[in-house]
Amino acid sequence: MMGGQNSKKPLTSVGVAEAHAGLAAGQFTSVDLTRACLDQIERVDGALHAFLRTSPTDALEAAAMADRARADGDARPLLGIPLAIKDVLMTNGIETTAGSRILEGFVPPYSATAVQKLKAAGAIILGKTNTDEFAMGSSTENSGYGPTRNPWDLERVPGGSSGGSAAAVAADEAPAALGTDTGGSVRQPAAFCGIVGLKPSYGRVSRYGLIAYGSSLDQIGPITKTVADAALLLEIIAGVDPQDSTTMPVDVPDLSAALTGEITGMRIGIPKEYFVEGIQPEVEAAVRTAIEQIASLGAEIVPINLPNTELALPVYYLVVTAEASANLARFDGIRYGLSIDGDTIFDHFRQTRGAGFGPEVKRRIMLGTYALSAGYYDAYYLKAQQVRTLIKQDFDRAFADVDVVLSPTSPTTAFRIGEKVDDPLAMILTDIFTTSANLAGLCGISIPCGFDSDGLPIGLQLLGPSLGEEKILRTAYAYEQSTNWRLRRPEL
């Protein structure tokens, strides 16, 4: 409890909207809130390892400035609210490593557009969160700096690759965080950690300043405690950016206005391909109970088919590894990061990349290089892009008939650390329900919908068409407000 707070719950439990209201009402100061978050990080992060680094001095100085600005009438939406940033996003003056030893010590001279927008809205950066190396993973076990642990069970993974951001928010180390989603890396860790993760449509948020993994798939998205907070953060970070030609030249809607709680008449598609053998029974039961709850709120439940779903994972891993092979060629030890001298320039490259990249990154670079190589390009990469079009067409047909597609976020709850790390195929299958959205450029959100018998959170996924964030947020908010899952927090 910090001075000036009139609530019984700890100050660190507030979300973004709640923090804004409390600051505006003078119930606590930004310095109070920021110090509370830093104290919570100090208290629990030794066990969690959600953060790779924090900036306590800078954060407290920024908080003091925010308090002075508020006293002078500044009312920006994030003024004085501390947030966490996934370590694949450039932060001016703060070391940014993408969870890789090859970038150890790299301090960017500029910030990602999404980070700039948060700071322009008044946000304070607490620090950088752990991630699978170059965002390549589903468990945050592939970090070059050690794994992050799940706040609900320290023997379990938090999901990945945005596991550090998800664990930080779930553990009340930050009111919210930014993550990135290439094949489910915002939604799956949000599901594993019992919070909200929003993947915007491709092109909704600028990727400028994001250390690229799969350029046609990557999107930056908020990880929050509530749907309303996710809507607010997306409003702030979204929009066209001249630095990123893939951003769509469309106005950002008032997403918060979509949160009416009213979904009567909305058509919710349930794909039979997403309820298949192998789903943890408790996950399927919780999601089917959520479907009944959404129906009771007035939505119409519509069975749909997405026939090319089974092809999504092989297509995804061909496309994303090919793009990773091209994107990671720039990390050669010449201009920044790790540099190991060799007898020749090629020996220098081999030594630097051999020591700097971890085994999963090497595996994906080699897969992608093979798929792009002469004699295999047409058979693998080109064919994958053609099938990708079929997957998108499945969703186009579905969204001609329904507003939102509903599924589990992940087929299981959080698995044990080390359980799948030596079985790449088993690890890949954790993304079976999330990768299609990235291939098709859709928006998606994961929200809590229950717990299994081990007390681990279960995630419900809602997918919408490109630029359909209002629909998924409206549905997610109505469900969230009709249940109490969002109120449960891990005991650390």
Catalytic choice (30, 55, 143, 161): 161
Catalytic choice (30, 55, 86, 436): 86
185 has catalytic annotation: yes
Structural tokens at position 476: 């997610």
CA distance 317 to 488: 35
Which amino acid is residue 481, in one-letter code?
Q
161 has catalytic annotation: yes
Are the beta carbons of 269 and 404 closer than 8 angstroms? yes
Catalytic choice (111, 165, 185, 466): 185
Are the beta carbons of 459 and 192 closer than 8 angstroms? yes
Which amino acid is residue 308, in one-letter code?
N
Place of tokens 């993760």: 197
CB-side neighbour CA atoms (13 Å) of 99: 35
Q: Which residues are catalytic?
A: 86, 161, 185
